[in-house]
Amino acid sequence: AARCALPMAFCGCYGNGDVEEAIQKYQAGEFVHVNGHPTHVVDRRGRNTGPQAFAEPSTQAIVLLHGFACSVHGWLGLIEALCEACSSHVRIVALDLPGFGLTRTPPTMRDWHVQHFSRFVADVLATLGITKNVLVFGHSFGGSVALHLAAEHPQLVTRAAVAGTEWPGEEHNWVVLDLLARIPIVRNLLLCLSPRSEVEGMLRDGLGQKSQQLATPEVVDRYHELMLLPGARRAALKLYVVDDDAAVQAAVQRLQCPLLTMWGLQDRFIPFINAQSFLDGYTRACALAYLDAGHFLVEEFPARIALDLLFFAAGRLADHSALIMNPRTGQPEESADEAVAQTLALYGPNKKPCCVRYCCCCFQ
């Protein structure tokens, strides 16, 4: 999943940004010391005091893991929506993974495999006093970390969800760049490649056609400036060349909890065929596919994603079910015609959306 965002990670001019200035500008939470290393963490509680507030005993914390070259800022809309829907018994936690956002790379870090990131997240949760009843939700690369965390810590994670996450070994849309990035001299060149305008281009490619307005100058600046921080691009490059397919696939095979996969039907980075692989590869998986949404579906439709995530947390989605959703109405699509049209427009006649065959089965 890291492969889809590599170009965005290296779109700045060669140089380093100022860490203190970035903290003043972009700090969204607090810095928690995890094994002695300052980690940028957003830790909130639900604030809904009404009778309809979500207060499922099996979900005491919702933990959000961002994707490659991203940060906690991509979750802020979802965090707000979850706080509005949940009671104060539910904690909503997001963190910047090592090397990304405002969490710098620990000086002793030598392991860039998904297992290391999973252990890091487990240590963060232990530091925060979160020991059970976690719903972990990861976007893109963060989904791979979430799957490994759920497999390694079944006593901690009761449910897992992923959005736009690559199935191990499945195809993605950066094959040529993937090969080039493994050549040492090219890897060094990637550290000083392309102007800021490429960041905006990548963001627009990751958004659905009706969400292009979200790529504001402020958002482009944030992505660009955070990736210019000392060590950020080198960290991204080290992570990019790691092959974690076998580890993630083994994690899926060890999963014990229900799994929700979410997909934007206009995802140009990780082809929608990956959703079919999750349904085929894990019997307790279910899928939601969203019309008009791209790879950054969480940022495009945070309120809708929040409600569907809580619906899943309450056990209201049947295993091995799938739905095509209209995120603007919140209703399932009775006809798959529009889903087929959107998918074929991106991927061609051989990539019909897998959820079409499942859209008749969903609710328990």
Q: What is the pLDDT of residues 254-266, one digit of tens each?
A: 999 999 999 998 9
Residue pair 349/333 in contact (Cβ under 8 Å)? The answer is: no
Residue pair 93/125 in contact (Cβ under 8 Å)? The answer is: yes
Least confident stretch, 29-33, 136-140, 195-199: 195-199
Q: What is the mean pLDDT of the chain?
A: 83
Least confident stretch, 73-77, 317-321, 330-334: 330-334
Q: How does residue 61 score in pLDDT terms, banded at 50, 70 and 90? A: very high
Residue pair 114/145 in contact (Cβ under 8 Å)? The answer is: yes
More confident position, 108 or 15 = 108
> Does the structure show a pLDDT above 90 at 83?
yes
* Beta-bridge partners for 160: 136, 259
∠ at Cα 56 (50, 60), nearest 5°?
Answer: 105
Q: How many CA within 13 A on the CB side of residue 90?
A: 29
Residue pair 69/10 in contact (Cβ under 8 Å)? The answer is: no
Q: How does residue 341 score in pLDDT terms, banded at 50, 70 and 90? A: low
> Does the structure show a pLDDT above 50 at 80?
yes
Least confident stretch, 88-102, 225-239, 299-313: 225-239
Strands 61-65 and 91-95: parallel
- Radius of gyration of the chain from its Cα atoms, rounded to whole angstroms: 19
Across the range 210-239, mean pLDDT stands at 88
Q: How does residue 11 score in pLDDT terms, banded at 50, 70 and 90? A: very low
> Does the structure show a pLDDT above 70 at 18?
yes
Q: What is the pLDDT of residue 363?
A: 30
Residue pair 263/37 in contact (Cβ under 8 Å)? The answer is: no
Chain centre distance of CA 284: 20
Distance CA 162, CA 228 (A): 28
Across the range 205-225, mean pLDDT stands at 94
Across the range 139-166, mean pLDDT stands at 96
Q: How does residue 193 score in pLDDT terms, banded at 50, 70 and 90? A: low
Q: How does residue 331 score in pLDDT terms, banded at 50, 70 and 90? A: confident
Q: What is the pLDDT of residue 357?
A: 39
> Does the structure show a pLDDT above 80 at 319?
no
> Does the structure show a pLDDT above 50 at 358?
no
CA dihedral 212, 201, 229, 138 (to 10 degrees): 60
